[in-house]
A and B are shown apart, each in its own frame.
Chain A
């Protein structure tokens, strides 16, 4: 089954800095989704990038996808304390289920 592995496992930065987290996966995909989870709460969908897209933006978020390397990255620019959360990637291949890794825990210090 498809599973994304996020890297790094934890990231601590200062407010205003950029945060980059990466996702690697193993088989072909239809799309790759990024989600955010604030402590102990439900996941919030951030961006869906399809396999024929290379880059997508949403506000301060920029997602890239390299299907040849089976990897994706999520960049958060000008981070804020409110961006503190865990971030998960979910590559979606031949089935509807999302298979999550352990996520990247981002801490943005004021």
Chain B
């Protein structure tokens, strides 16, 4: 059984650029959540995907978007990058069900994004 993986590990972009981060969920998991963690803060929920549909969104602007694929892997896309987008981006997979899931989430190691 493989754990949650994320790519790339590190990324440097400049303001205004676009970025795509990738996440492979743990085997058997159908739900992926994305979090942004600024330095010294706790992770902040961006959105969650359950069976390829968005299943909840945090307080992030529309330039943060995502996808989930039939194999339950996921992408996070951020357009028009701003300096404040510099952070550790974490994805987490879990076993979800229709109507809600209240199980532990398994996190990947994160992608550290630096925006210059």
Main secondary structure of the interface of A (DSSP, over half): loop
Task: For B102, give its contact among A40, A96, A101, A102 (CB under 8 Å).
Answer: A96
Interface residues on A, range: 20 to 34
**A13 within 8 Å of B (CB atoms):** no
**Contact between chains at A40 and B112 (CB < 8 Å):** yes
Separation of A105 and B54 alpha carbons in the complex (Å): 33
The count of A-to-B residue pairs whose CB atoms sit within 8 angstroms is 65
Residues of A at the B interface (CB closer than 8 Å) are 30-31, 33, 35, 40-45, 48, 88, 92, 94-103
**Contact between chains at B104 and A33 (CB < 8 Å):** yes
Determine which residue in A30, A41, A96 has the highest number of CB atoms from chain B within 10 A of its CB, and name it. Answer: A96
Separation of A51 and B106 alpha carbons in the complex (Å): 21
Separation of A96 and B50 alpha carbons in the complex (Å): 10
Within the complex, the shortest CB–CB distance from B37 to chain A, in Å, comes to 8
Separation of A93 and B33 alpha carbons in the complex (Å): 16
Task: For A96, give its contact among B33, B108, B112 (CB under 8 Å).
Answer: B33
Within the complex, the shortest CB–CB distance from A91 to chain B, in Å, comes to 11
Separation of A45 and B26 alpha carbons in the complex (Å): 14
- Contact A45-B101, Cβ < 8 Å, known A40-B112, A97-B33: no
Task: For A97, give its contact among B42, B45, B103, B108 (CB under 8 Å).
Answer: B45
